[in-house]
């Protein structure tokens, strides 16, 4: 693993790096430790109008070392379901935000 900034991974640009830094996920080590779904969950909570499903695809692809468009369809399907669950929980309000899983 690496203590390098997340933006050294493919597909992570300056905006995503800034969001990840603000969420306390500024290094490759931190992202690998929590995974793409949990990182997306934190970003979606912090920046609900700015963070989209493409961010989740991008995070997962970065961890896999590929472009988000090259993620296998079954992986995208799982990520879509995860994102829907997170979106539902965030819409329900504060009582569910702490128990997203």
Q: Domains of the chain: which residue ranges?
A: 6-97
Q: Give, to the nearest 10 degrees, the angle between helix 73-92 and helix 28-46.
A: 50
Confidence at 98, pLDDT banded by 50, 70, 90: low
Q: Are 33 and 42 in contact (CB under 8 A)?
A: no
The CATH code that applies to domain 6-97 is 1.10.150.20
Neighbours of 56 (CB within 10 A): 24
pLDDT given for residue 62 in this prediction:
96
Residues 6 or more apart whose CB falls under 8 angstroms from that of 16 comprise 6, 7, 55, 58, 59
pLDDT given for residue 90 in this prediction:
87
Confidence at 100, pLDDT banded by 50, 70, 90: low
Give 18-71 pLDDT, tens digit per residue: 999 999 999 999 999 999 999 999 999 999 999 999 999 999 999 999 999 999
Give 73-96 pLDDT, tens digit per residue: 999 999 999 999 999 988 887 655
- Measured in degrees and rounded to the nearest 5, phi and psi for residue 5 equal -60, 145
Residues 6 or more apart whose CB falls under 8 angstroms from that of 11 comprise 58, 61, 62, 67, 68
Q: What gap in Å lies between CA 85 and CA 87, rounded to an integer?
A: 5
- pLDDT above 90 for 99: no
Q: First vs last Cα of the chain: how many Å apart?
A: 26
């Amino acid at each position: 693993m690496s203590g390098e900034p997340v933006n050294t991974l493919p597909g992570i640009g300056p905006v995503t790096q800034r969001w990840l830094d603000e969420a306390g996920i500024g290094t490759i080590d931190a992202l690998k430790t929590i995974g793409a779904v949990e990182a997306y969950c934190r970003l979606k909570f912090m920046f609900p109008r700015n963070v989209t499903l493409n961010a989740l695809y991008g995070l997962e692809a970065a961890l896999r070392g590929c472009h988000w468009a090259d993620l296998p369809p079954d992986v995208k399907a799982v990520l879509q379901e995860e994102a829907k669950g997170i979106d539902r929980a965030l819409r329900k309000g504060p009582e569910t935000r702490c128990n997203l899983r």
